[in-house]
A and B are shown apart, each in its own frame.
Chain A
Amino acid sequence: MHQPTNPVANERRELTSFWAGGQEYCVDIMSVREIRGWSAATPLPQSPQYMRGVINLRGAVLPIMDLAERLDLPPTQPSERSVIIVVQVGERLVGLLVDAVSDILSINPDQIQPTPDVGCDQAKAFIRGLITIDDRMVSEIAVERLLPEVEGLAA
């Protein structure tokens, strides 16, 4: 599978933007594998709240993460209109549960600003930068920081 490359400073980039927890975010389009609708997930025992469970993605077991909850926003209430954005991080695939997908953005690097210090540490940890488009502000999510640290398990 194609590995998402790190954004090169001088090149135009394309990002998929979407709504989660009432706010607009985006991710590098190179990391997006597919977008699909919501289907009920099988819950995972003893897992963080933001992990909603796993679903069947054409025979593979795909973990679903509620992005809003991960960002410390109110949890998403999944409905038929909810969307799962399947992203690739390294060799793994993760499904991000969001409210809706909005746009494909094509931006110049100079449209990205670093995240200002706005108190919410949790959110800042996952956000790579802020993008201004017209009068919208879209936060870019660094997907590689979303996955929980792989914990060692006590036997």
Chain B
Amino acid sequence: MDELEEIKITFFQECDELLGDLESGLLSIDAGATDPELINAVFRAVHSIKGGAGAFGLEALVRYAHVFETLLDNVRGGKTDLRSELVKALLRAADVLADHVAAAKQGGEGDAVSTAAMVEELEAWISGGPVPTAPAEEVNIEPNEDGIVFTPIKLSIPEVDEGPKEQAWTITFQPMDELYSKANEAGLLIREIERLGKIEVELLDDALPTFDSLDPETAHFAWKVRLRTEVQEERIREVFEFVEGHCSTTIVREAPAPTAIEPAAGPDIAAIIAAAQAGDAQAAANSAPSEEATAIAPEPPAASLPAAAVPALAESMSSRGAPPPAPEKGNQATIRVDPERIDKLIDLVGELVINQAMLAQRVSGHGFAASSDVGRGLDELEQLTRDIQDSVMAIRAQPVKSVFQRMPRLVREIAGQTGKQVRLVTEGEGTEVDKTVIERISEPITHMLRNAIDHGLETPEERIEAGKPAEGTVRLAALHRGGRIVIEVGDDGKGINRPRVRQLAIDRGLISADAQLTDEEVDNLIFLPGFSTAAKISDISGRGVGMDVVRKSVQGLGGRISISSKPGLGSMFTLSLPLTLAVLDGMVIDVAGQTLVVPLTAIVESLRPTPAEVKKVGAQGGVLAVRDAYVPLVDIGRVLGFQTVDTNPAEGVVLLVDSEVGGRAALVADSIHGQRQVVIKSLESNYQQVPGIAAATILGDGRVALILDVDALVAMRRRELPRADEPFIEAAE
């Protein structure tokens, strides 16, 4: 890929990081932090974005960033007070900046209307008054064909002035001591002048003292340069701009009787500089600080210069006597790695685990005892392999912070849209999860937040009436629990209106009018398909998507979602997910001579029923009596087509599962082998999706075992039957 394109990608990545820093810095300030370094960091973030944007010719972004930056510069310089309303305005300004960056990424520009409004507000803050002033700096950018935008460097640019004829100038300059301490040297200046035209140089060494009092650090020479050039005087002055104050300069235009000036001014310069450098080499031989261009003599000095006296340095260079800077290893060294390489590594480690299991099985098949050298060696190998697997999975594990970071802005937007006042509190941003999961949790979290703010929180007026603060609090937390990652979204709103929810469910035919439900069951009715009146189509912006859609997507990840509520006090969504989508904890079972794996997360309980607990219903159906409920039986082997006759549950084993279809099911298998962690292999990559099967894995004996998709299996079973035979909750499909 084109190098410039790569840098552009880097730029946008960097913008994302900077925007993140910008937002978190402003949020900290909003929360009361007073560290001045925070406002500096905030300023730098916008400053850097503007700088990079300029290089790529992203005009609209640069213009907006410039105004934002100016205000932040005022704030950090103390010119503008950091009041709470200002911080809120800055947060909104940061959102607009993020929009500009996003638009620029797509090749477009930020929205002109919202930008203009924000700019007006920012400028009002800048000028401290209501009248917005014109932008302080004209930002003029024209990208050239490379895509890199440029403006001339001030230090050089022999601008060719058209028109004016050549004139002659006499330039005399005498550097003062300080000039040399800036590593400027007369030679450099003279070369700069030479770029403007033809020159003739004369060294004025009247002031040169005798050697004894010669101080290599101080300046004793002056130069007179005759210049023939077409450029204007300003341009000549510009050469000396940077040494102004350290050099006394006179620039005089000569009468327009041009004297013939040898273009052979070049060699003179070279000779002078050569001499200077020869002299310099002598000076450097001493322990004195090496100053170039000091003690320039017309001929190379034969004698070495006396050891330098205490150098007379300029004020700004006064020796501070400070020890050399102690390098802090402040930044942790990181390396950037191509994610594909990590994926490959994880695949290989997965293979390693499988292979190691296969080896162990074969070895034990050959009769080596577990206590023998071989047995012990294998145990160590297994331990080592598991350690490697954990370490490698940890490489790809990322903190949920990257997902949480987008939420404050989302909360601000939803609060604005719904007219609520919301404060977002986050916990556990550092909780780590495999990247396969991270990419998929942001949508469910977005929906839960939207639900909490839209339905959970009351309006400010309602809250005040209820004796609560007008501003509601939403809490977003991530934690590890029981080998999974748990995400909680809680609000301190009004809680679920249970009678209303119950009635709605009855009205929609989702439950029967006399169904007996616990409070918790009523709360979770909102996840039923058909419960919400909101559009079923999942909208990226997430307006009012039904919770049933959210649950389906969560379950697709092997996760679970539920809600709990306290009327008047608030509600909390709990989302639980596996730590990775690459491996899975499963129960290995035998069905019709086949080995299958059932995800442990789906299994509530495993049972060996007695004949009395098995009840037939109609010609095809059957249910299992489990404590005080009847649960429909699903014969795995038959539904999948591995056998034609149902297994007798009393002679096999039953796995009680929770399925999305509003209730439980009892899966019938022949026997259970045990539990183990398996590496998930895709069926779709070489083949296609298979009904009732989620994926595949490779067992210790090297054979492929299919991983059951519990919900799909139960759904397949229901389709077989003329009517659902659950006594309780029927769901519309």
Contacts and interface: CB of A to CB of B under 8 A. Distances in A.
A56 B687 contact: no
B85 to A, nearest CB: 51
B316 to A, nearest CB: 65
B642 A45 contact: yes
B350 interface: yes
A46 B692 contact: yes
B692 A56 contact: no
Interface residues of A, number: 28
Contacts of A61: 681-683, 685-687, 696, 698, 704
Interface in B483-519: none
Given A56-B704, A61-B696, A46 B687 contact: no
A136 interface: no
Interface stretch (A36-44, A71-79, A113-121): A36-44
Contacts of A43: 594, 642
B705 interface: yes
A153 to B, nearest CB: 6
Interface string A32-69: 00000000111111110000011110111111000000
Interface in B701-719: 702-706, 712, 715, 719
Nearest to B701: A56
B536 to A, nearest CB: 13
Interface residues of B, number: 31
Nearest to A54: B704
B692 A59 contact: no
B711 to A, nearest CB: 9
Contacts of A150: 688
Contacts of B705: 42
B354 A59 contact: yes
B706 to A, nearest CB: 6
A148 to B, nearest CB: 7
Contact of A59 (B350, B642, B693): B350
A60 B697 CA distance: 9
A42 B692 contact: no
B689 A42 contact: no
A62 B702 CA distance: 13
A54 B683 contact: yes
A150 B200 CA distance: 84
B640 interface: yes
B350 to A, nearest CB: 7
A63 B693 CA distance: 14
A31 to B, nearest CB: 14
Interface string B670-689: 00000000000111011111
A104 to B, nearest CB: 25
B351 interface: yes
Query: Which has the most chain A C-beta neighbours within 10 Å: B354, B595, B685, B704?
Result: B704
B613 interface: no
A55 B690 contact: no
A60 B686 contact: yes
B586 to A, nearest CB: 15
B691 A45 contact: yes
A155 interface: yes
A149 B130 CA distance: 68
A44 B705 CA distance: 10
B698 A56 contact: yes
Contacts of A55: 703-704
Contacts of B687: 44, 54, 61, 63, 92, 94
Contacts of A148: 688
A59 B344 CA distance: 12
Interface in B551-588: none
Contacts of B691: 45-46, 153
B351 to A, nearest CB: 4
Interface string B231-250: 00000000000000000000
26 contacts: A42-B594, A42-B595, A42-B704, A44-B693, A44-B706, A45-B692, A45-B693, A46-B640, A46-B641, A47-B690, A54-B687, A56-B698, A59-B350, A59-B354, A60-B681, A61-B686, A61-B704, A62-B686, A91-B685, A92-B685, A92-B687, A148-B688, A153-B689, A153-B691, A154-B719, A155-B712
The 6 closest A-B pairs by CB, nearest first: A45-B640, A63-B687, A42-B704, A59-B351, A61-B696, A92-B686
Interface of B: 347, 350-351, 354, 594-595, 640-642, 681-683, 685-693, 696, 698, 702-706, 712, 715, 719
